[in-house]
Amino acid sequence: MNGTATVSKDPSAGDTANTSLPSLEAWVAEVAALTRPDRIHWCDGSDAENEALLAGMLADGTMVKLNEQAYPNSYLHRSDPDDVARVEHLTFVCTSDRDDAGPNNHWMAPADGHAKVDALFDGCMQGRTMYVVPYCMGPIDSPLSRCGVEITDSPYVVANMRIMTRMGAPALARIEREGSFVKGLHSIGELDPERRFIMHFPEELTIKSYGSGYGGNALLGKKCHALRIASHQARNEGWLAEHMLILGITSPKGDTHYIAAAFPSACGKTNLAMLIPPEGYLKDGWKVSTIGDDICWMRPGADGRLYAINPESGFFGVAPGTSKKSNANALASLQRDAIFTNVGVTADGQPWWEGIDNGQVPATDWRGEPYDPAKRPAAHPNSRFTVSARACPSYSPEAENPAGVPISAIVFGGRRASLVPLVFEARDWTHGVLVGAAMGSETTAAATGAVGVMRRDPMAMKPFCGYNFADYFAHWLSFDNGRNKLPKVFHVNWFRKGDDGKFLWPGFGDNLRVLEWMIGRAEGTAAAVETPIGHLPAEGSLALDGLELGEEARDKLFGFDREGWRAEFDSIGEYLDSYGERMPQALKDEQQRIASALA
Ligand code: TSX
Ligand code: MN
């Protein structure tokens, strides 16, 4: 990297200083002494730096240039075939007290965790360049934002961090001003699944990740920092770090409501964040804007409402299934300046994946071999695009507002073929926390075990909460303090099926009908009927004009099955009990109240 606008230092000369912050300088020196890189490169985030990195990756095959005419300035990366997803069984939360990590995390004592990975980091960067990547999660001038520094030996990680975070000189300036930052150490190591660990030390605001170059294992700003470490920080500081999209809805009246929504994987979170209204709604003047598609940090403002920022600045989205039909905004976002990981390629060098539905055909699969549908899909099911949020046609300028956006509704959702109606509203905040704690999806892919089995994934945080879920629910409950003006809480299910096994709700753009009802509830204009599980839309209160829903669809989407819910609440009770004594009594009482009402 010598000769670029940025500075490289020769660690053998003991010359690692490139910051006015002694704690950062000392940590970089300490890491260099452990990992022994040939070169240290402090990233400034400049175009020149990015171009030099890309040139290097093209030269060594880390990146492949895609068709410049069809996809200007876009690149394909093929990961190691054994390194294609986050690895939950190798992800640890290292707290001094085991119970602080909770049954929802794998735990190791901090000293053991450090010893385990430091042995792997010992000398691992010999012959390589160590990149020091200062980044800011959230708008650079927002009091809600938090900074970190990732040290990595992967230029692919640097290129992705540049899109996914505010990376470089402005972030370093803020870190030097504030004096504190999350420390993230990453090496791809040997990419050996047997020598792979994603370690979190929340009490030290430290992450150590070894042996993977993929996604959330390696782009440490995302799941490791913005969710696991930040959730711990948020609990101490009185805010929430959540696995939620944020979208804005502007009604024909002209006012905008913001909604934050949590879904388990494979529910179409990115599609919802970039929703395109149905024709009739567009004509009437409705508008949907995107603030974020994955992570939401929120805290009460002076007026007691929750204000949210998207800590990220890009989308690391699942490619398969992304089409003009399912998500035209995402497809438009990735027409240029994109990084693709593990997708297929057409004969003329265009990215391709299952469900892209653009009339083209793949020539090469994600492993770089000739495409053979009998062998494997062209794109890996977890293949990704990385693009700047600013490239999205629905991206809202409010995403850059340092004050954040006020949240009118929090939505929890899941994939439930039976029982759960299209939408219901929690009676109050405590009930809403229970709805979030009990949410989950029925499994879809046969590869993950039995299909149709209910897996609880509280607030979609099961793999991402950096502390004990029982304490997390208590933290959520604490926001109802008599001063805050909290948003309404809803549960949705786009995936209810009829007796014929077909989806009953059209989903996608038509989900705006459900969001419109939520806004009506927040404004006090939409009617509802009370049931033990919460408020259901009153007949005629949720707009269904232009849809052809049969009697079975209406019954199942808007009805309430007392028998079925009685069994569900028994199961929810058992789930809460599995967290033992630490589970807040208020949540157990809420479950009991509803179970009694169902009896
Ligand atoms: O993303 C989805 N959303 C949210 C969109 C804003 N998907 C895709 C899920 C996989 C990631 C959906 N799939 C949604 C949905 O609302 N609903 C469904 C189920 C469904 C699938 C196909 C149809 C309808 C519903 N097709 C027709 O009705 C023609
Ligand atoms: Mn996610």
Q: 503 CA distance to ligand 1 centroid (A)?
A: 8
**pLDDT digits 0-9 by tens, 277-326:** 999 999 999 999 999 999 999 999 999 999 999 999 999 999 999 999 99
CA atoms within 13 A on the CB side of 85: 9
Backbone angles phi, psi at 21, to 5 degrees: -95, 110
pLDDT of residue 14: 47
Which residues, in sequence order, are CB contacts of 585 under 8 Å at separation 6+? none
**247/256 Cα distance (integer angstroms):** 10
Answer yes or no: are the C-beta atoms of 491 and 439 closer than 8 Å: yes
Q: Which atom, in ligand 1's list, is nearest to the CA of 272? A: 6
Answer yes or no: are the C-beta atoms of 31 and 130 closer than 8 Å: yes
Query: Does the predicted model carry a pTM greater than 0.85?
Result: yes
Q: Which ligand is nearest to the CA of 457?
A: 2
Protein residues with CB under 6 Å of any ligand 1 atom: 266, 268, 271-272, 275, 321, 494-495, 503, 506-508, 511
Q: Is 535 helix (H, G, I), strand (E, B) or coil?
A: strand
Q: Which ligand is nearest to the CA of 263?
A: 2
Protein residues within 5 Å, CB atom, of ion ligand 2: 294
**pLDDT digits 0-9 by tens, 210-255:** 999 999 999 999 999 999 999 999 999 999 999 999 999 999 999 9
Give residue 557's region: left, alpha or beta (phi > 0; psi -120 to 50).
alpha
Give the chain's residues under pLDDT 70. 1-17, 445-449
**62/213 Cα distance (integer angstroms):** 11
Q: 417 CA distance to ligand 1 centroid (A)?
A: 13
Identify the residue whose C-alpha is closest to ligand 1 atom 26.
Answer: 506
Answer yes or no: are the C-beta atoms of 157 and 210 closer than 8 Å: no
Q: 419 CA distance to ligand 1 centroid (A)?
A: 18
**227/217 Cα distance (integer angstroms):** 13
Q: 194 CA distance to ligand 1 centroid (A)?
A: 37
Answer yes or no: are the C-beta atoms of 490 and 255 closer than 8 Å: no
**57/494 Cα distance (integer angstroms):** 42
Which residue reads 């930040």 in tokens? 230
Which residues are marked as active site? 267
Q: Which amino acid is at 33?
A: A
Cα–Cα distances in angstroms (integers) from residue 6 to residues 2, 42, 46, 185, 224, in the given order = 8, 7, 8, 21, 27
Q: Which ligand is nearest to the CA of 223?
A: 2
pLDDT of residue 176: 98
Which residue reads 């605001």 in tokens? 205
Q: How far apart are the first and last CA of the chain?
A: 69
**448/348 Cα distance (integer angstroms):** 35
What does the block give as tokens for 278?
């149905």
**281/283 Cα distance (integer angstroms):** 5
H or E, element range at 577: helix 562-577
**568/543 Cα distance (integer angstroms):** 29
**141/120 Cα distance (integer angstroms):** 37
Question: Mutation test of ligand 1: which of 272, 423, 503, 513 has the most ligand atoms closer than 8 Å to its C-beta?
Answer: 503
pLDDT of residue 4: 37
